[in-house]
Amino acid sequence: MDAHALNAASPPLRLTGCLAPAKLNLFLHVVGRRADGYHLLQTAFRMLDWGDTLDFELRTDGLIRRRTDLDGVPPEQDLVVRAARLLQGVTGCKLGADIAVHKVLPMGGGLGGGSSDAATTLLALNRLWNTKLSRQALQDLGLALGADVPFFIYGRDAFAEGVGEHFQPLQLAPARYVVILPGVHISTVEIFSSKELTRNTDPIKIADFAASSTRNDLQPVACNRYPEVARAIEWLAQFAPARMTGSGACVFAEVASEDEARRIVAECPASWKAWQALSLERHPLYESAT
Ligand SMILES: C[C@](O)(CO)[C@H](O)COP(=O)(O)OP(=O)(O)OC[C@H]1O[C@@H](n2ccc(N)nc2=O)[C@H](O)[C@@H]1O
Ligand SMILES: Nc1ncnc2c1ncn2[C@@H]1O[C@H](COP(=O)(O)OP(=O)(O)OP(=O)(O)O)[C@@H](O)[C@H]1O
């Protein structure tokens, strides 16, 4: 076995049931655009205790194998496989891994599922391979895979700026949410590249976040193109203030109790899907980086 795996600190040979949590964007303002077309954002990221789960098993032959199929995503394009290869590439690690992804989060849901899978992979393999990259180094690596990856590695609620990679910690009270997937999936590129998107919201300060009136600037674009998103927001707003997360399609509302959450989920129209979830204070693999 490779020296990495024989290290006296004895990294484990496998990590199973690793959560790749969902995120919500409590608000999302588009404050500008970079020369390369990427948008400058301000957003509040909240991590949820609900998501995909991944299993990792060490291989000594250096191969990265995806053990589960993902509809429409060939292994070479899977963010999990790409994350593992990236970590191998920058560290020169000769170890490999078998990876199983148990998908729960809808794709194109605005919940960051693919990004979270990639972040969990970077954190888990950093431990399994004993590659010892710092949290910041993993965040920098993750940004090359997707704009939401660094947040999951940061691993706690955050006020984010830039393209979503500069963080300040946010202290938020624990909360329960209902999340609804209207029967559509939305491509992030489609929303960001739309002509009607406003890109000039005035920046706010983190200190003013709680008192500011915020919104999701991507929401009017998504509602216009996908009326089902507007209908879901309107439906959920009967119970509590409702908003879209990320580039959609999911919409969410904070609710006061588990009973209320259950009632809303039970009443959700059959053509949509509904879940409830709690906020999550720390990423379960937070300790895999320093
Ligand atoms: C909408 C958010 O989920 C909010 O958290 C993220 O900004 C999007 O994160 P993501 O899905 O990981 O997105 P990526 O895969 O990095 O980018 C998909 C595409 O969205 C556009 N994009 C993304 C992020 C950003 N700040 N500006 C953009 O213009 C770019 O055209 C990019 O090619
Ligand atoms: N492991 C993966 N899980 C999900 N999607 C993946 C994965 N690997 C690659 N993808 C691709 O990424 C696309 C976006 O999926 P994802 O679940 O991240 O959407 P999303 O929740 O809308 O993301 P975001 O909130 O970051 O905009 C998928 O349509 C798929 O083509």
pLDDT tens readout for residues 125-169: 999 999 999 999 999 999 999 999 999 999 999 999 999 999 999
List the domain boundaries for the chain.
3-170, 176-278
What does the alpha-carbon distance between residue 32 and residue 35 come to, in Å, rounded to a whole number?
10
Which of 170-179, 187-196, 202-211 comes out lowest in average pLDDT?
Answer: 202-211
Cα 246 to Cα 41, 138, 144, 175, 233, distances in angstroms: 11, 22, 18, 19, 14
Q: Is the pLDDT of residue 68 over 80?
A: yes
In this structure, of 114-118, 150-154, 183-187, 258-262, the range with the lowest mean pLDDT score is 183-187
Pick one of 1.10.10.10, 3.30.230.10, 3.40.50.2300, 3.90.550.10 as the CATH number of 3-170.
3.30.230.10
What pLDDT is recorded for position 277?
Answer: 98
CA 116 / ligand 2 centre spacing (Å): 9
Alpha carbon of 250 to ligand 2 centroid (Å): 13
Atom of ligand 2 nearest to the CA of 22: 21
Instruction: Give the pLDDT band (50/70/90) at residue 3.
Output: very low
Please say if 49 is a catalytic residue.
Answer: no
Q: Confirm or deny that 114 is annotated as ligand binding.
A: yes
Q: What pLDDT, on a 0 to 100 scale, did the predictor assign at position 208?
A: 81
ipTM of the complex: 0.94
Query: What residues are in contact with ligand 2 under a 6 Å CB criterion?
Result: 70, 73, 77-80, 101, 105, 107-115, 117, 148, 188, 246-247
> Active site includes 208?
no
Mean pLDDT of the chain: 95
Question: Cβ(41) to ligand 1 under 6 A?
Answer: yes
Are 16 and 55 contacting, i.e. CB atoms less than 8 angstroms apart?
yes
- pLDDT of 210 reads 77
Topology of domain 176-278 in CATH is: Alpha-Beta Plaits (3.30.70)
Does 164 carry a binding-site annotation?
no
Residue spans of alpha helices (H) in 7-134: 79-91, 113-128
Instruction: Give the percent of the chain with pLDDT over 90.
Output: 92
Helix (H) or strand (E) holding 10: none
**0.80 exceeded by the pTM?**
yes
Q: 188, 190, 243: which to mutate for ligand 1, most atoms within 8 A of CB? A: 188
Ligand with smallest separation from the Cα of 187: 2
The stretches of 35-157 forming alpha helices (DSSP H) are: 79-91, 113-128, 135-143, 149-154
Tell me the mean pLDDT in the region 170-183: 97
Percent of the chain with pLDDT over 70: 97
Nearest to 237 by CA among 183, 185, 173, 180: 180
Identified catalytic residue from 52, 55, 148, 217: 148
Closest ligand to C-alpha of residue 142 is 1
Mean pLDDT computed over 274-279:
98
Report whether pLDDT(184) > 90. Answer: yes
Has residue 2 got a pLDDT over 90?
Answer: no
Rounded to an integer, what distance in angstroms lies between the CA atom of residue 166 and that of residue 234?
33
Hey, what are 262's tokens? 């259950």
Name the band, by pLDDT with cuts 50, 70 and 90, for residue 211.
confident
pLDDT level of residue 9 (50, 70, 90 thresholds)? low
Give the pair of three-digit tokens for residue 233: 């927001």
Categorize the per-residue pLDDT at 1 as very low, low, confident or very high, splitting at 50, 70 and 90: very low
Report CA(56)–ligand 2 centroid distance (Å): 20
Determine which residue's CA is closest to atom 3 belonging to ligand 2: 114
Per-residue pLDDT tens digits for 281-290: 999 999 999 9
> One fold for both 3-170 and 176-278?
no
Write the pLDDT tens digit of every residue in 13-60.
999 999 999 999 999 999 999 999 999 999 999 999 999 999 999 999
Nearest-10 Cα torsion for 138, 142, 147, 153: -40
According to the model, what pLDDT value does residue 209 have?
80
Q: Does residue 188 have its Cβ closer than 6 Å to ligand 1?
A: yes
Sign, CA dihedral 240-244-104-125, equals negative
